[in-house]
Amino acid sequence: VLRLKFSDIYRQIDYDALYAELGWEPKDSTEAEDKGYCLDLWNMHNNGDTTGKLAINRDKGVYNCWVCGGGTILSLVMEAKHLDEQKALDWLSQFVNPISKESSDEFYARVERQLRDDKPEPKPLPHFNERVLDRWLGDYHPWLARRGVSHDVATYFKVGYSPAHRKYHPRNGEYVGEAIILPHFWQGRLVGWQERWLSETPSHIGKYTNTMDFPRHETLWGFDFAMKQERQPIVVESVMTALFLITEGYPAIATFGAELTNAQLVQLRGFVKGIILAPDNDGGGAKFLATAKDYLSAYIPLLQIEPVKGAKSDLGDLSAAELSAHLRNVEVLL
């Protein structure tokens, strides 16, 4: 089965049919762009959008609202229809219009060609109005203190708490629970956030979830901050561990898991003084280390911190005193 990507289909979307299904009506259109009232999916417009701030660019397959932010049409559909990426793509493909300039045979031939070439198309990152975080800021949650994240660090990175956070699932419906909100800023923009659930979640919701189209493969958490520091950053897998390290005075970056992508490796090259790798104590961590070493050792100095004892452990499992003792065992990777 040929799995389509968004970049394969967005030029063929029948936007009129899509708009009708989304209940949206453009007020003004140019050759490439439709403008109309914002769908206000994040309740960011105080009195509704009365001036028509939402623009959809059909050529690029992107949307933008002056208040809410923007991203791909796929991410808009994910949010509007509460679908994950694959389901949203399936849903969106019903609006693919084969009666365009190319026949459906030509269309599939082109898609296959593109898949063979597999040249990565730059995907526009989602971005959000930072004010969306305001509703979760305020009190310093005791769970953060227990995890070794100081009030100052939590405030700086706009870490929030949502007492009745909502997560939709296409089949299982809505779940409401307590969550810590971990914002992700990239090049000065809010590109999404992770939710660290504090409540007991049903099996279809993991301990960590994130916003639609979350750029976990294209970006690194804490990059902007680490770039401004004198010392080499410690690279870890999880955002919570990075926040703990920063609290203890060590610049840190998180990769959102053990998988290191090419885009992330290229970004890490920017740390010309080197980086300190701190993999989790598991198979994923070993792979993380090998991938980093393989690619980066030709470019920048690499240091490694020995894994924390205990299966799946990481630096976040240590107390502040244990951390400072543990960080004395830094090895140079050759």
Helix (H), strand (E) at residue 93: helix 85-93
Q: In the complex with Zn ion, which residue's Cβ is closer, 132 or 278? A: 132
Cβ 194 to Zn ion, closest distance in Å?
Answer: 23
Cβ 80 to Zn ion, closest distance in Å?
Answer: 12
Cβ 42 to Zn ion, closest distance in Å?
Answer: 7
List the structure tokens of 125: 């990152």
Give the start-end residues of each E strand in the chain: 28-29, 33-36, 54-57, 62-65, 69-72, 127-128, 160-169, 173-186, 189-197, 208-210, 234-236, 252-254, 275-277, 302-305, 330-332
Q: In the complex with Zn ion, which residue's Cβ is closer, 36 or 285? A: 36
Q: What is the C-alpha radius of gyration for the chain, rounded to an integer number of angstroms?
A: 22
SS3 57: strand
Q: Provide the binding-site residues for Zn ion, judged by CB under 5 A.
A: 38, 65, 67-68
Q: In the complex with Zn ion, which residue's Cβ is closer, 65 or 83? A: 65
Cβ 69 to Zn ion, closest distance in Å?
Answer: 8
Q: In the complex with Zn ion, which residue's Cβ is closer, 9 or 68? A: 68
CB neighbours of residue 286 within 10 Å: 14
User: What's at 17, amino acid-wise?
Assistant: A
Q: In the complex with Zn ion, which residue's Cβ is closer, 24 or 157? A: 24
Cβ 128 to Zn ion, closest distance in Å?
Answer: 10
CB neighbours of residue 172 within 10 Å: 12
What residues have CB less than 8 Å from 294, skipping those under 6 apart? none
Q: In the complex with Zn ion, which residue's Cβ is closer, 110 or 131? A: 131
Structure-derived torsion over alpha carbons of residues 46, 47, 48, 49, reported in degrees to the nearest 10:
-90
For the residues of 129-186, what is the DSSP string, one character each? -GGGGGGG-SS--HHHHHTT--HHHHHHTT-EEEEEEEEEETTTEEEEEEEEEEEEEE
Cβ 63 to Zn ion, closest distance in Å?
Answer: 9
Q: In the complex with Zn ion, which residue's Cβ is closer, 154 or 212? A: 212
Cβ 93 to Zn ion, closest distance in Å?
Answer: 26
